[in-house]
Chain A
Amino acid sequence: MSILDWARQVRLLHPNEWEVVLTPANLTTTVEALCANPRNHFTDMFGVEMGGERQLRLLFALDSEHGWLHLVVPVTGDSPHYTSLVEVCPATLWYEREVAEECGIIPSGHPGPLHLRLPDDWPEGVYPHGGGFSWQDKIPAVAPHPVELASAPDGIVDYPLGPVRSGVVESGHYLLRTAGEELVDMRLQLFYKHRGIEKRAEGCSLLHLPLIAERISGTSAFAHSLALCEAVERAAGIEAPPRARYLRTLFAELERLYNHHGYQADLCQATGLVVGQAQFDVLKERLLRLNARLAGHRYLFGLNVPGGLSRDLTDTERQVIDEELRFQRRTFTVLEELLFRSNSHIDRLERTGTLPPELALAWGAVGPVGRAAGVDRDLRRDHPYAAYAELDFAVPLETDGDALARARLRLEEVRQSFRLIDQILGSLPSSAVRVPPEACMVRPGVSALGWVESPRGEGVHWLSFGEQRQARRYRVRTGSFANWQTFPAAVPGHNILTDFPVIEQSFGLSFAGADR
C-alpha cells in the first residue's frame, strides 16, 4: 500500500514539491512508511494557523527525482492532539515540543513534553503561531517556572558550563555529568538567542524579507537569504538570470570557505594549537575582506534580493578573486599538511565525540556532521539549486563519526569549494543579475519552499503569502537546529571532561541559527 491510498488529497505545488493532505489518524502509518525507505529523510515539522484553521505540517525530502513532500494534517478543537511520532521517527523529538509550545498542537505520548524554545516566564496558553498572536502584542508577565532537573546520584558530579563563557562564544548552557574524569551524560539548554525571527517576518514585504533571513545566523547570512529568495522565486514562478545563479553559487562557496577556515581555527584553539588557529584565522580574515570588497559587507549581507542579486561582479573583481584563490590554495595545502603532522592536534580528535552512524541517521544529522557519520546527503547534489547542477564537484563522505572525521571532511570540502569557484570564474554567463522587481510578483495565498546547503548543513525555508502578498507564515529549519539535537549523543562514552571543548568545536554549530 502506498501513501496515496490513504491521502485525502495530493497536489503538485511547484516543480519537485508535493503536498498530501492527511487525517491525524493516518499520520503515524504514513510517517512509518516514509521512514522505512532510507532514501526519504525527515526534514521539518511545524504548525501553521491560517484563517482560523490549524495545520500540522511535516516535510520529507524524497529522492532527487521527486523532490520534497509536505504532509498536511488539518487539526480541530481547542486543544488538538495527535499521536507522538517519536517512536516511528526519533528525529521529531524537538520538533514536536516546538509545535506544542508555539501552536498548541499536542503530541500524545511524547517522552519529554517540556518547553523547548520559549523562555521560562512565557505564559501558558499563549501560542506565538496560534490563536491570532501578533509580534506586536504585549506578553503578560508571569513568574518564571524553570524545569528542575533531578540532582546527580552519588559519585556523579554535575558540572555547569555557560551560558556566559570566556571568549566570543555564543550563549548556550551545558550541564555535564562526570564520573571522575569521564563524561557520562549531558543536558543541553539552548535558545537564549531566540529572537522570534520567523514571527517578525509576518506581514513583511518582499523588500524586507531578505533582511530578516540574513539575521538568522550572521555566518550563514548568504545561505539563508538565498534559501528565502529561492522560496520567493518559486512562489512567483520565476528563475534568477543565469549570471545571478552562477554568482549566487560563487558567494555561497565563499561563505563556506570562510566558515570552514574559521572552523579549523576554532578546533586548533580547542586543542591548544595556537599558531594553527592564527594561520586559519588569517585565511578567514582575507576572505572576509574580499567579501567586503565584492559585496560591500564582510558577511555578504544585502546581496541576495528576490529575483537575483543587488550587485554584479566586474572583471577586475573577478581577477581579484582569482588571485586570492591562488593564495588561499597554496597556503591551505601547507596548513593542511602541518595539521596532519601535529600529533598533539590529531590525537585529541581521534575517537573523540563519536556520533555513531546509525544514531546520526535516526536523529536526522545533516551537513558536515551527518556526512562525517556516513549520512550521504548534500542538497547541492541531491536537490540542486542555483547553478550546482551545471558544475562538477564531489561530496566527501566519512564513516567514523568522530571529531577527526568531521575535521577531515571539512578540509576536503574546502578543496571542493576551490574547484567550484574555479569553474564559476571560468564559465560565468553574461546576463543581467536581477529580474525587474515588477516581474517578481507572488500570487496571493501561495506558499513555496526554498533550500540551501549552508556551511553547517541543510537550511530549509517555507514561506506562505497572504492576500496582500506579504509574508503570512515563515518557517526556517536550520542545519544547526537539526544537528544540536544529535549533539548530546556524541558526548557520553570514552570522552573525558577536557574533551568537551574539542567535541563542541568539532560539531561547529551555530547557536543563533538554532535559536532563531
Chain B
Amino acid sequence: MELGWLLRGWRTGIVTTPYPTRPDPPPQGFRGRPQLDGERCRIDDGCTVCVEVCLPRALRLETVPNGLDRRLVLDLLPCIMCGLCVQACPTGALHMQSDGELAVRSPQDAQTIVPLEMEVSSDGHI
C-alpha cells in the first residue's frame, strides 16, 4: 500500500456531518419541495392551474369519502419537486420550502389537503 494514501486520508480529516444530531442545511439556492398554504389558495374560485401543470398528479382534485365534497390534495409521495406548480400559482399559495427535510412517518403526513367549500343555497342544492 502506498503510504501517500495514509497521509492523504489523515490530512483530509472527517468530512461527514453529524446529521441528524446537528442540522445539516442544504446549500443556499437548493430548490426543495412545494408547500401549499390553504389560506391563500383560490381553489374555491375555480382556479386549478396547479393541477393542470402537475405531471405526476401529485396535485389533484379528489372527492371526499362522503361522496359529495371535493378537495385539493398536494401529495409529496408522487411529487418530483420540479416546482412547475409554484411558478404557475397566481396567488402565491404554493411556494418552495428548501430546508431539505423530507422524511415523514406515514403517507398521510406527506399530504396537504385544502377542502373545497361549496356554496349551498337555501333549498339545500349546491
Q: Which residues of A contact B (CB under 8 A)?
A: 204, 207-208, 211-212, 215, 273, 275-276, 278-279, 282, 285, 289-290, 292-297, 301-302, 317, 334-335, 337-338, 341-342, 344
Contacts and interface: CB of A to CB of B under 8 A. Distances in A.
A317 B28 CA distance: 11
Contacts of B83: 302
Contacts of A215: 80
Contacts of A204: 55
B19 interface: no
Nearest to A278: B9
B6 interface: yes
Contact of B55 (A208, A296, A338): A208
B80 to A, nearest CB: 7
Contact of A211 (B4, B5, B29, B82): B82
Nearest to A293: B27
B122 interface: no
B31 interface: yes
28 contacts: A207-B53, A211-B55, A211-B80, A275-B6, A275-B8, A276-B5, A282-B12, A282-B15, A290-B27, A292-B26, A293-B28, A293-B30, A296-B29, A296-B30, A296-B31, A296-B32, A296-B98, A297-B30, A297-B31, A317-B29, A334-B8, A335-B8, A338-B2, A338-B8, A341-B4, A342-B1, A342-B2, A342-B5
B29 A293 contact: yes
A136 to B, nearest CB: 12
Nearest to A339: B2
Report the contact-size class of chain B (Cβ under 8 Å from the partner). 20 to 34
B32 to A, nearest CB: 8
Contacts of B27: 289-290, 292-293
Contacts of A297: 30-31
B84 interface: yes
DSSP class of A's interface residues: helix, strand, loop or mixed? helix
A452 to B, nearest CB: 21
A342 B28 CA distance: 39
Contacts of B53: 207
Contact of B9 (A208, A279, A301, A317): A279
A275 B5 CA distance: 6
A15 to B, nearest CB: 31
Contacts of B80: 211, 215
Interface string B11-44: 0100100000000001111111000000000000
Nearest to A338: B4
Contacts of A208: 55
Contact of B5 (A273, A285, A296): A273
Contacts of A296: 29-32, 98
B90 to A, nearest CB: 16
B24 to A, nearest CB: 11
A152 to B, nearest CB: 38
Given A292-B26, A292-B29, A302 B5 contact: no
Nearest to A296: B31
Nearest to B53: A207
Given A211-B82, A292-B30, A341-B2, 8 more contacts: A211-B84, A279-B12, A285-B15, A292-B26, A293-B28, A296-B32, A301-B82, A338-B5
A335 B12 CA distance: 12
B9 A275 contact: yes
A276 B30 CA distance: 29
A295 B80 CA distance: 16
Contact of A294 (B6, B8, B29, B82): B29
Contact of A207 (B6, B15, B29, B84): B84
Contacts of A275: 5-6, 8-9
A83 to B, nearest CB: 41
